Structure 1
Amino acid sequence: MPDDLAAGARSAQQPAPLVIRGLRKSYGTKEVIAGIDLALAAGECFTLLGPNGAGKTTTLRCALGLTAPSAGEIHLAGLPVPERAREARMRVGVVPQQDNLDPDFTCAENLLVYGRYFGLDDATIKGRIPELLAFAGLEGKREARIQTLSGGMKRRLTLARALVNRPELLILDEPTTGLDPQARHLIWDRLKQLIRGGTTVLLTTHFMDEAERLADRLAILDNGRMLTEGSPREVIAAQIEPQVVEVYGDWNGSGANGSAGVSGAQAWAEAHAGSFSRRYEVSGETAFCYLDDAAPLLAHLAKQPGLRYLRRPANLEDVFLKLTGRELRD
């Protein structure tokens, strides 16, 4: 089934799905995109990561011709944007942040009406509806009204709707935000099927595990600039130490048994973390120690009865926090 849904995605004659060069976008004196370069290869999943306000959604809107760039060049499906944006969008599927399904229509009617926007005749669309609903796991919901669907069902229907035109490029803006784990895993499974079938995917997400599971390549954005780019493994290897030890709990300042709670992980980190770690950070009541070799630190912590710790390999979230900081973004 994914092979049928992605039938338009694998022609060797097709141009690059998306090429962006020197993209800039300003609103008044505020520059929200500050010179982004991006090129997607056919059949890959490319993921954009970044905190709120980093420029991810603005980049997508510019790429689709929905927001006019201040400078730069964009080619979507081989066509210049915004000059031929409408024509280019006919070859693209989009899953927006918020579901915008029509509540007055059934699931099948939503697909039918949406397909008409791409100039498809009703017979063609109706022929695709069964496979689209099956792909979304909604075979029994053909005549169901949107109000009766769960959040996960609505999200899957929105994904199915984005495939009605057999797109060469599928753009998804935070597709699993607000979903429970079961629904997220089902969406991931469907996206993997599409990628295996040759569909090119451009994804934005706040979930680091989602990026690690799906992305062939990724980029981290902040303040409108691209901070790093590569495969998840390449980015982790290049940007962060391989081992992380999280230290938390009480520390009495000497390591001997004594009065608990005199001071916490921050005081311990200030006294000792630098002796064992290439780098450390304290966030709340936890000290994060980044190391090449965790053994000496673990031996030390074994003698600190008030402290607890968690040892793990470094991951994409560590890179993200290192590059963009731990401060909350509204």
Structure 2
Amino acid sequence: MKNFAEQINKKFTKKQIVTSSVILGVLVVGGVTAGVVTHNNNVHAQQVAQKAKVEADKKAKAKQLAKEKEIAQEKEVAQLLETASKNPSDATIKAAKEAISKLTDETVKAKDTNQLKTIEGRLVLIKAAQTALKDYQAHATDSNKQKVAQNAINAIKDKNDEKVKADLQKAFDASNKQAQEAAKAEQAKASQQSSAKSNQSASSNDSTQSNTTASNNTSDGTSNQASSNGGTSNGYAQNSQGNQNYQGNTNTGGNTQSNPNTGGNSQGGGNSNAGSGGSTNNNNNNSTPTPTPQPSVKYAGVVYVDGAVKYRQVFNSEPEAASWANTMYQQECLNNWTSNISWATQAI
């Protein structure tokens, strides 16, 4: 090495040696700097790659967690929809609706929402049938409410609601049977009342006719008046000559019979006797008082609109009044369905 330096010294001048040293130093420093920069770049790149990998892992993990959460949420929604389908109610539908709102998959969310709307529609029909049945049970004689209730029950068609529909129909049939039995009993009662009135009227007519006949028979009797000449015999007055003159009789029926006998029986010296009298029968002991007429019950059919009487008509029996009132009620319901309408029967 020493020999090499000596050789260099021999070959190069001092100025050349200095210049070469500077150049060599610059080269050495530059090489070192370039190595450091390269190393730093490599480290930074590794750090960036590592950070990107961490971020990617985080995102992948978050995505996996979100997917798992979505799957779990979809399972919960499916269970709640099944429960609501088997037992539609405000509570079950509300729980399913809240679970659906937490879904993030819009396709699945739309599908479950449509399924829930179907269940909500079924619940509306069930509630309508329950309300109509309750109204009919409170007014079992109202044929219009009967039709509304039956139609509401028939509107329930989903196979999942067959049990609910059967229970509602059973309750309806029980109420309908009670209403029919009540109607039959009311008709029988009205028939008995009508028959009793007819019998009473016939009895009253027979009694009146009997009393009239008895009065006429009584009026046929006569009272015999004795004449001033002495003895009497069967309504004839005997005069002093032994001649009998008929005395007229008057009955109490208001018909006065005057039987003048102007015959002249001439005896001996041409005496003429003329009988022109009459007797009046005032026998009131057999008169019968006029029977007191029994009160007759009538029934009025009445239709109310917003609490006021709009239609009213009187009939001889309650079934007639009820039939008329129900007919007018249905007519008014068709023409004026926004008002509060009802009907009733009233005994007069």
TM norm. shorter chain > 0.5: no
TM-score by length of 2: 0.20
What's the TM-score once normalised by structure 1's chain length? 0.21
Structure with more contact order per residue of length (Cα contacts < 8 Å, sep ≥ 6) = 1
**Greater fraction strand:** 1
